[in-house]
Amino acid sequence: MRPPSHNLEKTEPTQAEAFNALLQRLDPDRDRAGQEYENLRRSLIRYFLKHAPAEAEALTDKTMDRVGRKIIEGVDIRVRVTKYCRGIARNILLEYFRALNRPFIPPSMRAGEELEIREQCMRKCIQRYRTIFDFVSSCMSESESTRMRIAEEMGLKLAGLNSRVHRAREKLRLCLRKCIEKSGESKII
């Protein structure tokens, strides 16, 4: 009688397994790992928005899934996992442009025009979000002890204040990016 054969083929890890492997590698504490994951995700989305805005989230997901699968496969990652993710992101971006069968060539815009548009957009965003800009400016220019005092006055811990500053800066960056993109589109038309 023949013993039952066991399927020795490697099975592809699921997305959930890849996600869990990545979280575990980011930090053993699930809450801190979740925060690291979100920070890494935002960073990758910003990277892809610069090069392939229409596919930024999909390429980010593909990057993080691939890193999780590499971790499950036992790839020896000798650098911080966030740095490793950035390397994988570059590879995925190259694959993306190869699949489109065209090289990545950023739209041409003379440097002077680009700077002028950026300055105009910065002024518009500062004007639109004056209170946010003032808040960020005041916090960024202060020492840590002064920021701790500001946080205390707001009923926050320093980490809470830093989170608010980060979110405020993101809002200003988004405004700037949208304005620049809108200006670039109007130049094309």
Q: What pLDDT was estimated at residue 150?
A: 87
- CA-based R_g, the chain, Å: 22
Residue ranges for the chain with pLDDT beneath 70: 1-10, 102-113, 141, 184-189
Q: What is the DSSP letter of 53?
A: G
- 44-52 long-range contacts, CB within 8 A, separation 24+: 44/85, 44/86, 44/89, 47/86, 47/89, 48/89, 48/93, 49/177, 51/93, 51/104, 52/93, 52/96, 52/97
Q: What pLDDT was estimated at residue 1?
A: 46
Q: What pLDDT was estimated at residue 112?
A: 58
Q: What pLDDT was estimated at residue 103?
A: 60
Note whether 135 and 168 are within 8 A (CB). yes
Name the pTM for this structure: 0.49
Q: What is the DSSP letter of 110?
A: -
Q: What pLDDT was estimated at residue 2?
A: 45
Q: What pLDDT was estimated at residue 105?
A: 56
Domain ranges of the chain: 15-99, 111-188
